[in-house]
């Protein structure tokens, strides 16, 4: 309850401004709205990260609205958001930036809807659980087959056991 009272006003315009403010503080001393016509990699990455955060945390903003913040059109905003999602999955530095910014936004203004980009740590845990489940299932099937092999004649059993050892 107390946390809710301390949060910034979260109207749509207030939400957008709060996200922009958090991103500007994170990328300080660089202002996100400076150098809008430049295409240097660090500048573009900051812009794309901010567009992705606006898309994820200000759900009522359209792609056109997000693009207008940076004097771009909706197609550029969509391309930036999709590109940043792909980069976050492969680049550890961008993953850390995204998680840090996401945590700051959630702490200051809360979540409006679901976050589209999955936390890479949770994704790795889920993948590991899937692999463990597959391995356990595979071992159980092999044990059942070996039990069934005992009823077969020895000649056939050897060939099948050789195949099972390859698994």
State residue 108's pLDDT score.
Answer: 85
Q: What is the CATH number of domain 2-117?
A: 1.10.1750.10
Q: Which pair of structure tokens corresponds to residue 124? A: 């790795």
Q: How confident is the model at residue 4 (pLDDT cuts 50, 70, 90)?
A: very low
State residue 37's pLDDT score.
Answer: 81
Burial class for 99, CB neighbours closer than 10 Å (0-12, 13-18, 19+)? middle
State residue 161's pLDDT score.
Answer: 73
Question: Residue 40 CB: number of other CB atoms within 10 A?
Answer: 8
State residue 75's pLDDT score.
Answer: 95
SS3 72: coil
Q: What is the largest CA-CA distance in the chain?
A: 80
Rounded percentage of the chain residues whose pLDDT exceeds 90: 26
Spans of all domains in the chain: 2-117, 121-166
Q: How confident is the model at residue 160 (pLDDT cuts 50, 70, 90)?
A: confident
The model's pTM is: 0.63
Alpha carbon 159 to its chain centroid, in Å, reads 47
Q: What is the pLDDT of residues 41-69, one digit of tens each?
A: 888 999 999 999 999 888 788 999 999 99
Whether the per-residue pLDDT at 7 is higher than 60: the answer is: no
Average pLDDT over residues 62-91: 92
Please check whether residue 93 is in contact with residue 120, taking contact to mean a CB–CB distance below 8 angstroms: no
């Amino acid at each position: 309850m107390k946390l809710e009272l301390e949060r910034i006003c979260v109207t749509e315009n207030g939400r957008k401004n709060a996200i922009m403010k958090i991103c500007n503080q994170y990328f300080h001393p660089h202002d996100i709205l400076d150098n809008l016509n430049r295409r240097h990699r660090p500048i573009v990455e900051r812009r794309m990260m901010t567009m992705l955060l606006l898309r994820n945390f200000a759900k009522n903003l359209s792609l056109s609205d997000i693009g207008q913040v940076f004097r771009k059109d909706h197609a550029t905003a969509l391309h930036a958001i999709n590109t940043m999602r792909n980069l976050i999955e492969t680049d550890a530095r961008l993953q850390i930036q995204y998680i840090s910014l996401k945590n700051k936004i959630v702490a200051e203004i809360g979540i409006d809807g679901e976050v589209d980009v999955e936390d890479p740590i949770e994704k790795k845990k889920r993948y590991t659980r899937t692999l463990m489940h597959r391995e356990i299932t595979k071992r159980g099937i092999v044990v059942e087959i070996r039990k069934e092999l005992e009823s077969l004649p020895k000649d056939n059993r050897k060939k099948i056991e050789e195949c099972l050892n390859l698994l």
